[in-house]
Structure 1
Amino acid sequence: MRLNAFAPAAALVAALSLAACSGPAEDAAHDQANAVDAAGERQADALERQAAATDNEAQETALNRQADAVENAADGQSDAMHRQVDKDH
């Protein structure tokens, strides 16, 4: 009988703990970090399409390297943003 008296309190603590895991601000910040990653990927994809369309091998190589650099920079920025959000929340 005593166990039943604690059940509502335990359920409340569990619910509050889950609610504290993620809130609208944290979700929005993660969404923003994901958007940075997606924008970098779109830009890299455009550069890769340009590279594939050229007949100049040197230009193709340069465009592919630029695409890799853009994608890596966006990944790095996005990862840093995610880490900061996780640290702050």
Structure 2
Amino acid sequence: MRKIILAAAIATSALGLAACSNNTETETEEAVDAMAADAEANADSAGEAIEGATTETATDVEAAADGAAASAERTADEIAADAANVAAEAEEAAE
């Protein structure tokens, strides 16, 4: 009789451990899924931040290039005006 009770207790313990192991496996899978979702969200946020910084940098570079082109154009116009003045003064001096 004792052997039957001992076997039943062992069987009950084994079933309890199996149920616990199943529960632990489910909880572990849920934790892994949550960590994967967090990693994906962080990667998305980082991607958006990089994209925003890239767009801002491109806008700044374009503005700087436009400013440099305008400055060069003004300088070229000033040189042309100075050259015209020198030519006019040379013509006046030649007369």
Q: What TM-score, normalized to structure 2? A: 0.36
Q: Which has the larger radius of gyration?
A: 2
Higher helix proportion: 2
> Relative contact order (C-alpha < 8 Å, sep 6+): which is higher?
1
Q: What TM-score, normalized to structure 1? A: 0.38
